[in-house]
Amino acid sequence: MSFENLLTSIDNRVLTITINRPDKLNALNKKTVEEIGLAIKNAESNDAVLAIIITGSGQKSFVAGADISEFVDLSVEQGRSLAQAGQAVFKSIETCSKPVIAAVNGFALGGGCELTMACHLRIVSDNAKFGQPEVNLGLIAGYGGTQRLIQYIGKTKAIELHMTGDIINAEQALVLGLVNYVVPQDQLMEKCLEVIEKIKTKSPKAITGVINSVNAYFENSVDGFNIEINEFGKCFATDDFKEGTSAFLEKRKATFTGK
């Protein structure tokens, strides 16, 4: 099956999904998110696939966030729908019965960081950068980031990163427990395949059991994801959001008024 914004290949029972919008640093527009959802759905039912790698095209960026150019003029309802659709696709990655590894080859910001966190493992190149910089746009994370970052690194650093929009490098991400391995960029795929080969020697059913059981640990809380959908949607009614997105697209610094 061919996609507009993804490259896919299956080799040795490993499906590699490459997000392929390098001129936009692989930013996730709606079409790309939909296609990722479809690729994961196909992989679930394809017996030829035992494991999945998600990566970005080029040497600079995994995914530099949701596509900001699509945010302009969204209403509160449309903002909520955007978050809902993104969360559904990312949830399908998290609950995929086959192991999904993010091979993070550069920027993993905003929706890109959220995408890595929906994957079961994060193996990253030494130039990888992580962050949730949505606040710079007068926004918050909407694809599960407010819920998943806490799961990986705890509230102390998670709330700081969401509030400051700070970007952290690969080594900092490793120290915080956000990623599994940091390797030189030219060894990224090799390391992913090494880990996958180890997992492939185990029972696929047992691996699914691990995924379901580990995920279950986080399922019994209040529905923070729903709260995030509402909070994300509300941002679209603010002047600050309009200013933040316009400033980005006009390549200038945003001036927020709190309105």
Q: Tokens standing for 256?
A: 């927020």
Interaxial angle between packed helices 145-153 and 111-118, expressed in degrees from 0 to 180 and rounded to the nearest 10: 60
Q: In angstroms, what is the minimal distance from the CB of 184 to ligand COA? A: 21
Task: Mark the segment that binds ligand COA (CB under 6 A) among 3-11, 66-74, 95-103, 215-223.
Answer: 66-74
Mark 15-54 with x for binding to ligand COA (rule: CB under 6 A) and - for no binding: ---------xx-x---------------------------
Kindly tell me which residue out of 66, 117, 123, 211 binds ligand COA, with binding defined by CB under 6 A: 66
* DSSP per position, 12-49: TTEEEEEE--GGGTT-B-HHHHHHHHHHHHHHHT-TT-
Q: In angstroms, what is the minimal distance from the CB of 227 to ligand COA? A: 18
Q: Give the contacts of 164 (CB within 8 A, at least 6 positions apart).
A: 135
| CB closer to ligand COA out of 67 and 228 | 67
Contact between 134 and ligand COA per CB under 6 A: yes
| Number of shown-chain residues binding ligand COA (CB under 6 A) | 17
Kindly tell me which residue out of 52, 64, 168, 211 binds ligand COA, with binding defined by CB under 6 A: 64
Q: In angstroms, what is the minimal distance from the CB of 217 to ligand COA? A: 28
Per the document, the length of the chain is 259
Q: Are residues 26 and 56 in contact, defined by beta-carbon separation less than 8 angstroms?
A: yes
Helix residue ranges, H only, the chain: 30-44, 76-94, 111-118, 145-153, 155-164, 170-176, 188-200, 204-216, 224-235, 239-249
Catalytic, 228? Answer no
Q: In angstroms, what is the minimal distance from the CB of 136 to ligand COA? A: 6
Enclosing H/E stretch for 110:
none
State whether the Cα torsion 211-216-218-222 is positive or negative.
positive
| CB closer to ligand COA out of 44 and 70 | 70
Q: Which of 4, 35, 94, 134 is catalytic?
A: 134
Q: Which of 35, 114, 228, 231 is catalytic?
A: 114
Q: Scanning the structure block, which residue is given the tokens 């929706």?
A: 111
Q: Give the contacts of 223 (CB within 8 A, at least 6 positions apart).
A: none
Kindly tell me which residue out of 9, 12, 46, 69 binds ligand COA, with binding defined by CB under 6 A: 69
| CB closer to ligand COA out of 12 and 164 | 164
Task: Mark the segment that binds ligand COA (CB under 6 A) among 2-10, 116-124, 130-138, 148-156.
Answer: 130-138
Amino acid at 146: T
3-state SS, residue 199: helix
Q: What's the DSSP call for residue 123?
A: E
Catalytic, 114? Answer yes
Kindly tell me which residue out of 107, 130, 232, 236 binds ligand COA, with binding defined by CB under 6 A: 107
Q: Are strands 61-63 and 107-109 parallel, antiparallel or unpaired?
A: parallel
Q: In the complex, which residues of this chain contact ligand COA (CB under 6 A)?
A: 24-25, 27, 64-69, 107, 109-111, 133-134, 136-137
**Residues designated catalytic:** 114, 134
